Amino acid sequence: MRANMATLRKWIYGFLFFCGALLIANVAFPPPLEKAYNTSTLIVDKNGQWLNAYTVENGRWRIKAELDGIDENFIAQLIAIEDKRFYRHSGVDPIAVVRAIRSWKHHGRAVSGASTLTMQLVRKLEPRPRTLRSKAIETIRAVQIEMRLSKREILELYLTHTPYGANIEGIVAASRIYFDKTPNQLTHAQIAQLISLPQAPEARRPDRHPENAEKTRNKILAKLHKTGFITSLQLREAKEEKISTRKYTLPNDAWLTGRKLKNIATPLYPKITSSLDTRIQTMLARLGRDYTQSDQFNVAAIIIDNETMKVRGHLGSAGRNKPGGWIDMTSRPRSPGSTLKPFIYAFAFDDGLSAPGSFVLDAPTRFGSYQPENFNRRYYGQVRIFEALGHSLNVPAVIALDKVGTDRFESALNLTGAKVSKPNSVNSDAGLALALGGAGMTVEDIAILYAALANGGQARPLVWLENETPHSSYKLMSEESARKITTILRQAPTPNGRVPHWLTQNSHAIAYKTGTSYGFRDAWAAGYTDKWTIIVWVGRPDGAPRVGKTGRQAAAPLLFDIFANLPGVGSDQHYQKIQSAPRGLKVFGGTAINQPEILFPPNGAEIAVSEFGKAGRGLSFAARSPTADPLQWYVDGKPISRQETSRKTIWYPKGNGFYKVSVVAKNGSATHSFIRVIAFDRNNSYEN
- The amino acid that residue 165 corresponds to is G
Four-CA torsion 339, 340, 341, 345, nearest 10 degrees:
140
374: DSSP letter: -
CB atoms closer than 10 angstroms to residue 4: 8
Give the DSSP letter string of 70-91.
S-HHHHHHHHHHH-TTTTTSSS
CB atoms closer than 10 angstroms to residue 225: 18
CB atoms closer than 10 angstroms to residue 508: 23
Burial class of residue 621 in the structure, from the number of CB atoms within 10 Å of its CB (0-12 exposed, 13-18 middle, 19+ buried): buried
- The amino acid that residue 324 corresponds to is G
Q: How far apart are CA 501 and CA 492, in angstroms?
A: 11
CB atoms closer than 10 angstroms to residue 668: 8
Burial class of residue 340 in the structure, from the number of CB atoms within 10 Å of its CB (0-12 exposed, 13-18 middle, 19+ buried): buried
Q: How far apart are CA 300 and CA 447, in angstroms?
A: 12
Q: Would you say 270 and 412 are in contact if contact means Cβ atoms under 8 Å apart?
A: no
Q: How far apart are CA 192 and CA 178, in angstroms?
A: 13
Residue 610 among the catalytic residues: no
CB atoms closer than 10 angstroms to residue 418: 21
**Of 115, 317, 338, 358, which residue is the catalytic one?**
338
Q: How far is CA 673 from the centre of its chain?
A: 53
302 Cβ neighbours under 8 A, 6+ residues apart = 311, 313, 314, 315, 330, 443, 444, 447, 462, 534, 535
What three-state secondary structure class fits 415?
Answer: helix
- The amino acid that residue 600 corresponds to is F
Residue 82 among the catalytic residues: yes
77 Cβ neighbours under 8 A, 6+ residues apart = 191, 192, 195, 224, 229
413: phi then psi, degrees, rounded to nearest 5: -65, -40
**Of 40, 82, 146, 354, which residue is the catalytic one?**
82
The residues annotated with a catalytic role in the active site are: 82, 338
